[in-house]
Amino acid sequence: MTAAVVTELVKPYITSYAEEELPLPLAFERADGVTRLTYRDALPQEWLFQVLWARCGTARTGRIQWKLVHTLRQRRCMIHGLCRVCGQPAADPDTGRISWVLPATVAADFRSPWPTAHPPTCKAHVTESLAACPYLRRQAPLVCTAGDYTPIGVLANVYGQDDGGRVVETRHQTPVALGDLPLLRRAVATQLIVRVTDLQRAPS
User: What's the total number of domains in the chain?
Assistant: 1
- Assess whether pLDDT exceeds 70 at residue 176: yes
Can you tell me the mean pLDDT for 191-199? 96
The verdict on residue 76 lying in a domain is: yes
13 in Cβ contact with 69 (< 8 Å): no
Confidence of residue 2 (pLDDT cuts 50, 70, 90): very low
Domain that includes residue 176, residue range: 15-201
The verdict on residue 4 lying in a domain is: no
95 in Cβ contact with 89 (< 8 Å): no
- Assess whether pLDDT exceeds 90 at residue 147: yes
Can you tell me the mean pLDDT for 45-58? 96
Confidence of residue 67 (pLDDT cuts 50, 70, 90): confident
The verdict on residue 10 lying in a domain is: no
The verdict on residue 186 lying in a domain is: yes
- Assess whether pLDDT exceeds 80 at residue 8: no
Confidence of residue 139 (pLDDT cuts 50, 70, 90): low
For the chain, state the CA radius of gyration: 18
The verdict on residue 147 lying in a domain is: yes
The verdict on residue 192 lying in a domain is: yes
Strands 98-103 and 114-116: unpaired
- Assess whether pLDDT exceeds 60 at residue 53: yes
Mean per-residue pLDDT of the chain: 90
Give Cα 43 distance to the centre of its chain: 21
The verdict on residue 130 lying in a domain is: yes
The verdict on residue 7 lying in a domain is: no
Can you tell me the mean pLDDT for 166-177? 97
- Assess whether pLDDT exceeds 70 at residue 134: no
Closest CA relative to residue 120, chosen from 78, 158, 154, 86: 78
